[in-house]
Amino acid sequence: MHQYQGPGRAAAFAANAMCATSHPLAAQVALDALARGGNAVDAAVAGALVLTFCEPMMCGLGGDAFAMLRLPGQDSILGLNGSGRAPAALDAVALRKAGLDAVPTESPHSVTIPGAIDAFSRLIKQYGALDFASALAPAIRCAEEGVPVCHRSAIDWRAYGGRLQGAGRTHFLRDGAPYRAGDVFRAPAQAEALKLIAREGADAFYRGPIMEDMLEALREAGGVHTAADFEQAAANPTTPISCSYRGHDLIELPPNGQGATALLIANILARFDLGKLDPNGAARTHLEAEATRLAYDARDRFVADPEGRELRIEHMLSNQTADALAALIDPRRATPRIAGLSEPVHRDTVYICVVDSDRLAVSLIYSTFWPFGCGLASKRFGVGLHNRGASFSLRPGSPNELKGGRRPLHTLIPGFASKQNEYLMPFGVMGGPYQAAGHAHFLSNVADWGMDIQDAIDAPRAFADPATGRLVVEAGFTDSVVGELEAMGHVIERAPIGMGGAQAIMIDWKRDLLIGATDPRKDGVALGA
């Protein structure tokens, strides 16, 4: 079992360029891209594409991606939303009439149009130093030659391989069985798809034989997707949102992602003097859990696709809202379960951050939502299809109600943190719905207790899961702390393995130094060059 063992590992340092991500091969590919004349954008995209084959249950060509970047010499952070939309012919009314109260996670109705390929293409075209074909080349090689399966990936393959169906079983299982640690995973069909994209650009994915292959798989499974849905796919630039926390800035992407949720948690916690508490004690963990419960309830009321509606995000992030929510927290007792939407629990996400010698910094996250997405894959090219549409609500009047052409509430959130004249840091926390809580927890570790970024990542995690009402805790918490939390009224669930994962790179402006950190809960690495 891949257990989290506790804090204490030193951060990695480098003076020139660095990549931190959830698999060592992807990090090496990113540094190779820099050596070939690419910049941090080229490196991040190349590394992310390789993760498609290092962790195929976590991400894939049929998934979504979000990115933020800071250009050299600029103070502002740029954002790109690479999430897809529901097919135009699908809506909540039709599914309610079919007797459903939620979008089935293994149904074609859960498949929104994949946005990652268009996002990667746009990043390279607008900000990269190389071309898209160069970024795709290492992934093509990995798909053809194969990638050895790491320990954590083997655990997830064994746990979730049973979700695969139809052509998904052909392309992602070995003789009908999950891949084991040390096996070599090859994806020759996806290599052919990537070669088409390298020759013809992103249009080859959204038009022509790759699109037709995905469309055939969806239609055969009962989906209502059309060629027009794929042809209209486009990643969109977006302006990040932020809050100040103890002199540090937390920077997130706006809805339809849940970045506003991380900001609200931070705003609520800023009302308490956490620095006087034990960072791994019951009092801190309780306050963070209560702030999380309140913020995720607000998320389900406010966060959705912003197009064509008023989401009142300014109200959600106002000082008055944070004051009112903080006042609801009893420092000694857990509140009754806060009514919120029941969101599917999932863990499959990969993250990569890169900083180059010019201090161009990229924070990128890439996912198929549930393990192996909806379980479907296209027959010819083996493109696994995500199930991000399962995040839609079928509740009438919900801001996140399923409607054709709309994007669902998204858990994916790349992050940045900064402190004026001291540091800038791209970072990410994987773990599905935990991500927003994880961002606030990580920044609090840095800002409230002065932890270095490796210790801030290593420190034990807890999550007040809105789907179950339970407080999920890692093995790093002592039995006495767990007992105190139970006495406060929390229903405790022990996490069987480490919760999520994280990577970060801090640009230390005063010393012109890069400090990288990676999570022991995954098979990742921070590499410098």
The ranges assigned to domains in the chain are: 1-338+350-529
Listed residue (109, 114, 108) closest to 92, CA to CA: 109
Q: In terms of Cα–Cα distance, which of 249, 456, 425 is closest to 354?
A: 425
Cα(396)–Cα(399) distance, integer angstroms: 9
Across the chain, which distance is largest between two alpha carbons, in Å? 62
Cα–Cα distance for residue pair 446/474, rounded to 1 Å: 20
Per-residue pLDDT tens listing for the chain (529 residues): 233 334 445 577 766 999 999 999 999 999 999 999 999 999 999 999 999 999 999 999 999 999 999 999 998 999 999 999 999 999 999 999 999 999 999 999 999 999 999 999 999 999 999 999 999 999 999 999 999 999 889 999 999 999 999 999 999 999 999 999 999 999 999 999 999 999 999 999 999 999 999 999 999 999 999 999 999 999 999 999 999 999 999 999 999 999 999 999 999 999 999 999 999 999 999 999 999 999 999 998 888 888 866 678 899 999 999 999 999 999 999 987 665 332 333 445 899 999 999 999 999 999 999 999 999 999 999 999 999 999 999 999 999 999 999 999 998 999 999 999 999 999 999 988 899 999 999 999 999 999 999 999 999 999 999 888 999 999 999 999 999 999 999 999 999 888 989 999 999 999 999 999 999 998 889 999 8
The pLDDT of residue 497: 85
User: How far, in Å, CA of 217 to CA of 67, rounded?
Assistant: 29
Contact 44, 67 (CB under 8 A): yes
Tokens 């008023």 belong to: 310
Residue 339's pLDDT is what? Answer: 53
Cβ atoms 318, 298 nearer than 8 A: no
At 13 the pLDDT is: 73
Tokens of 518: 């990676």
DSSP string, 482-516: HHHHHHTT--EEE-SS---EEEEEEEETTTTEEEE
Which residues touch 73 (CB under 8 Å, ≥6 apart)?
A: none
What is the distance between the alpha carbons of residues 278 and 478, in angstroms, rounded to a whole number?
13
In the block, tokens 């798989």 appear at 217
DSSP state, residue 24: H
Distance CA 519, CA 467 (A): 25
Sheet containing strand 415-419, edge to edge, reads 12-14, 513-518, 501-508, 423-430, 415-419, 248-252, 241-245
What residues contact residue 498 under an 8 Å CB cut-off, 6+ apart?
A: 2, 3, 4, 461, 474, 519, 520, 521, 522
Structure tokens at 115: 């946005």
Using DSSP's 3-state secondary structure scheme, residue 409 falls into: coil
Residue with tokens 């600029």: 74
Residue 236: what pLDDT? 96
Q: What pTM was estimated for this model as a whole?
A: 0.94
Q: Return the pLDDT at 471.
A: 96
The predicted pLDDT at position 407 comes to: 96
Token code pair at residue 443: 């920044």
Residues 6+ apart with CB under 8 A from 376: 108, 111, 165, 166, 167, 168, 217, 218, 221, 384, 385
